[in-house]
Chain A
Amino acid sequence: MKPMLNIVVCIKQVPMVTELPWDERSGTLRRDLAAGMMNPACKHAVEAALQIKENQGASITVMTMGPPAAEEVLREALAMGADRGVLICDRKLAGADTYATSFILASAIRKKCPSFDLILCGAYTSDSETAQVGPQLAEELNLPAAAYAENIDVNSGNIRVRRLVDHFRETLEMELPALVTVSMERYQPRYASFSGLDKAFTRAGISVLNAEKLGISPADLAQQGSRTRVRMVFVRKAQKENVTITGAAARAASEFLDRYERKIGAAIGKSIEAKK
């Protein structure tokens, strides 16, 4: 029998709405004002882990850093079929940028799952979309990594990843342990069953880590802490304009096409010039 694969999936709770007010002073989103959900790409990463588990057996640890409410996304992943959860929760770690986050996640993985084979992350998050934490975490742990994977095959000690890059697909092969970030092309997440939800509370455990348990000192935070300073946050404004085209139908249609055929063509992906 093959040894059981150890998979860690790093997930994030994001606000359910797209437009959130932000704190003008810190430049960070007021996440407390919206209900949270599991970041969609992270959910695809959980699904990828579950499919690997179904194919060849694996033990799945889901990990997140966030406020106490972030427990929700861990429970959701457990309900889908993950085996255990790790919540990194400490006010001292709040406001971490991607650099600090990957440093903290790396500490937690070394502490809780030192014998991991594969780390999966969502390729990007719907709230800040930096797509940085996965690759930075691979750097912290000194692992080979591939981002934006749409398919993952694990074969004894190796992992083969297919990803969509620009307009072509490439297949990469790496030795385990490795890190892969999962995009949203495939691995449509399953619905959690209610019995799974029930068991996520009665059976599976979540361990909570803080800075002290992780052995992260104030000096570490000064050294490895956030390097990003948000200078300014602004909303891109789009102005809607009403245009009235008058005249006989044929002339109005013609004028409409003259004005907008390029925009319409771009929207539908083909030229409509010939149809005129």
Chain B
Amino acid sequence: MQFNPCIKHKLIRNSARHFAETELAPIAAEIDQQRIFPRDAINKMKALNYFGLQVPEEYGGAALDSISTAIVVEELSRVCAAVGLCVTVHNGVAVYPFLQFANAAQKETYLPQLASGEVIGAFSLTEANAGSDAGSVEMTAVKSGSDYILNGTKIFVTNGGVCDVALIFALTSLPENKLQSSVFIVESKYPGFLRGELEDLCGMRANPVSSLFFEDCRVPEENLLGKLGDGMKIGLATLDNGRIGVAAQALGIAQGAMEAAIKYAKERQQFKRPIASQQTIQNYIADMATEIMAARLLLYRSCELKDAGAPFGCEASMAKLYCSSVASRVTGLAVQIHGGYGYSKEYDVERYFRDAKVTEIYEGTSEIQRMVIARAMLSQSMM
């Protein structure tokens, strides 16, 4: 494992950081409060390949490795987690399944549009009764001629309010009357594709999270992703990858919160000296920095395994579990260091604090991550 970033990773970090600080920092607080999806900034990002991070060059992407992708999401989230979320969901769980499971025609049709950001993607598994239990999807897709007819409701769809293409998990009949989920590529322009109101959430409020309703929505059969009944397989593989993205996001939030706390601790005077001279505050900062470093190494380790073509699901779960819990702890400490001001919207740490929480919930709760990790550990033969 490389412990020093190569020049390429350094430049990718500088580049994403420069963009985030110039274009996102001035608007991050306002778009959070007003729940505005920052279209102008997003449009600038499209030309810079933020929406085709790992798409091969032949389809117009930047063909970056997974560490680079994590770095980009980390740097966006360090400044504005809602935009980091838009990018990681698009790349990590909407584009990734195309790269892994789409046939040549589907890749030809969708990858160039997705990579350019002309089309924004979403991934829709969650339903009212199917959260951690991804197997209990109730939405249906019934074959009718050369189409499937989709009916049902998806909830908490990240990018839901703006997506042009969504990957929809629905139950399909297999031979011998078996019901199994399959994945469909559904364009928002298909009749019967309806968006719900945007959710009024605790954090990352600039991301248009919404429900999606499907009322007799006809989808051509060539839009089936993978094989009939592949839903669970595609879902689990995609979530493994998505977890790397959420871990990167959590890490970026933690990094941003720590930097804000350090800056404040050096400026804030109490007892006639900066609070950074108090050992308690120094201990907080030492803990934050150590946990962030450990989280970063764990995350990059899972990226490295993924790029080497090795199984990375367990490590991705570890990274997601640890990075998200670090984000919650660090943002909590950052608020604490800010005292009363940290509880006010005047300071960014209040936003970081709200943004961090959901990283312990979506893309598999911390409880589910522990289940995945424990299952992997228990299935290994212990010498």
Contact = CB atoms under 8 A, between A and B. Distances in A.
A37 B62 contact: no
B57 A197 contact: no
A72 B8 CA distance: 8
B7 A194 contact: no
Contacts of B268: none
Interface string B1-21: 000000110111011001100
A263 to B, nearest CB: 24
Contact of B11 (A72, A191, A193, A195): A72
Contacts of B7: 71-72, 75, 201
Interface residues on A, range: 10 to 19
Nearest to B72: A194
A190 to B, nearest CB: 9
B48 interface: yes
Contacts of B14: 37, 76
Contact of B19 (A76, A191, A200): A191
Contact of A194 (B10, B15, B18, B44): B15
Interface residues on B, range: 20 to 34
A38 to B, nearest CB: 9
Q: Is the interface of A mostly helix, strand, loop or mixed?
A: helix
Nearest to A80: B15
Interface in A173-225: 191-195, 197-198, 200-201
A106 interface: no
Nearest to B6: A201
A42 interface: no
Contacts of B10: 72
A197 B11 CA distance: 8
A193 B19 contact: no
A46 interface: no
Given A37-B14, A72-B10, A75-B7, A194 B50 contact: yes
A194 B8 contact: no
Nearest to A199: B57
B19 A195 contact: no
Given A198-B63, A198-B64, A193 B47 contact: yes
A123 interface: no
Contacts, number: 54
Interface string B205-216: 000000000000
B53 interface: yes
B62 A194 contact: yes
Given A71-B7, A75-B7, A197 B63 contact: no
A197 B61 contact: no
Q: Which of A76, A192, A193, A197 has the largest number of chain B CB atoms within 10 A?
A: A197
A191 B62 contact: no
Given A193-B49, A194-B15, A194-B50, A201 B8 contact: yes
B18 A197 contact: no
Given A71-B7, A72-B7, A75-B7, A195 B12 contact: no
Nearest to B54: A194
Nearest to A202: B63
Given A71-B7, A72-B11, A201-B8, A194 B53 contact: yes
A193 B64 contact: no
Contacts of B63: 195, 198
Nearest to B65: A198
A195 B49 contact: yes
B11 A76 contact: yes
Nearest to A68: B7
Contact of B12 (A37, A71, A191, A194): A194
Contacts of B68: 194
A73 to B, nearest CB: 9
Given A71-B7, A72-B7, A72-B10, A195 B62 contact: yes
A195 B55 CA distance: 10
Contacts of A76: 11, 14-15
A195 B57 contact: yes
A146 interface: no
A204 to B, nearest CB: 13
23 contacts: A72-B10, A75-B8, A75-B11, A76-B11, A76-B15, A192-B11, A192-B15, A192-B48, A193-B49, A193-B62, A194-B12, A194-B15, A194-B48, A194-B64, A194-B72, A195-B62, A195-B63, A197-B15, A198-B57, A198-B64, A200-B11, A201-B7, A201-B8
Interface of A: 37, 71-72, 75-76, 79, 191-195, 197-198, 200-201
Given A191-B48, A195-B61, 16 more contacts: A72-B7, A72-B10, A76-B11, A76-B14, A191-B15, A191-B18, A191-B44, A192-B11, A194-B12, A194-B15, A194-B48, A194-B49, A195-B49, A195-B63, A197-B12, A198-B63
